[in-house]
Amino acid sequence: MNQLKENELILITIKRLGINGEGIGFYKRLAVFVPGALPGEQVEVKITAVSNKFVSGEITKFKEKSPDRVEPVCKYFGKCGGCQLQHLSYKAQLVEKRNLVEEAFHRYYEGNTDKIKFLDTIGMENPLGYRNKSSLPVRPDGDKLVCGIYAISSNRLVYIDECPIENELINKTRDIILKKLTEWHVDVYNPRLKRGILRYLVIRCFPNSDEVQVTFILTKEDDKAIKVLKDLDVKSANYSINSDPESYEIFSGEVINVKGSKTISGKLGDLNFEISPNAFFQLNTKQTENLYKEIKKAAKLTGTENVLDCYCGIGSIGMYLAPDSKEVRGIDLNKEGIVNAINFAKMNNVNNATFYSGNILPNLREFKAKGFVPDVLVVDPPRRGIELNVINYIQSSNIRRVVYVSCNPATLAKNINHLHRDYIVRYVQPIDMFPETSNVECVVCLERR
């Protein structure tokens, strides 16, 4: 029974980090979650929230600080929810991310974790300026318009005028757009009153092409907002309507191009690609090539394999594997992404890769009926993981090797727990796609028993 009360002071030692970057210590076997605390630190904590299974608290005094604690590079750190680990040295971040993955497997995986090889996290030389896309709510602030990032676990917006993990071109473009929006007196959305027009500002750019794509998310068409878009010096200017006040998705309707082309171009190794505003692509362009190298390594291709790429987005993984494969097929529910994938293949003269729009299971059954049996399956699902019916299909299939790519250690471990009955887990390779945050990407190599 939890005997702690709110505002009570306790002294604890932080043992590890949680999935949101908070420090976790224990008080009489009760887990205590402390934002801002680091492993190895001894801290005095004031209890702020109490439940039967855990408590949360805030640091009131340091008794002992971690040698890995550093000064954050961003003036908004601790206020906005974009980064959680800027107070931890980058070398230590890589260690802790590997620990987060191991902890998820210890918690959700019922097999013997001692038989799984957890490799060291692959990091970056420079952990700043890597984000190629930003989706920001817009709000009024006195006589000007601003945008920001929500505080962690909150709907409170923290206004920002610079972000050190974003591509510098995004920062510059955001400032120009906000100035124009202010000059044109564009009406912005008020989520509390559920009225107004401009909801989000979405900016994407790739440093290897210097092309910028801007998309306004509006509640309805608006002449002023469209005039601002047409006045921007960017490769791609667009808007999309999302009038549902309860929607958690940013894009919910068709993307309308008003200036330039609908897509912008980028480069991935030797591959050129183009991407639409609402198509998925990794946020860290530089680290994506390292991720794909690890996927190729896990796939162990010899040139004779049929490869299936599920949740394929714009088909970039499949395209990267195509030169070493007999045939590649990709499936994704996002039709816009599949259009990009088809164009991607044509642009690079890749003739052994085809892409299909729709739910995964019906496509898998149709492929099998027509004689396409994959030797290697690559899955890169959303954070919620693989659907159970797809897991069941994989288990009953003759697929020799599965390469599971995940940005959520918890759902990864849960899914692997199902698959390990039929597949041996060869290794787990963490990759730091999101420096300064608590997020970590993984590549898992599985081979049929």
Q: Which residues are catalytic?
A: 407
Indicate the angle between helix axes 90-108 and 409-419, nearest 10 degrees.
40
- Residue written as token pair 């959305």: 189
The answer to whether 147 and 137 have CB atoms below 8 angstroms apart is: yes
* Nearest residue to 69 via CA among 37, 98, 105: 37
> What does 24-79 look like in DSSP terms, one character per residue?
EEEETTEEEEETT--TT-EEEEEEEEE-SSEEEEEEEEEEE--TTB---S-TTBTT
Determine the Cα–Cα distance for residues 198 and 225; give it in Å rounded to an integer.
8
* Nearest residue to 318 via CA among 394, 377, 370, 402: 377
Residue 153: CB atoms within 10 Å: 9
The answer to whether 271 and 348 have CB atoms below 8 angstroms apart is: yes
Residue 284: CB atoms within 10 Å: 23
* Nearest residue to 321 via CA among 271, 371, 273: 271
The answer to whether 236 and 264 have CB atoms below 8 angstroms apart is: yes
Handedness of CA 352, 358, 359, 364 (dihedral sign): negative
Residue 188: CB atoms within 10 Å: 18
Determine the Cα–Cα distance for residues 276 and 273; give it in Å rounded to an integer.
10
Q: Which helix (H) or strand (E) holds 170?
A: helix 168-183
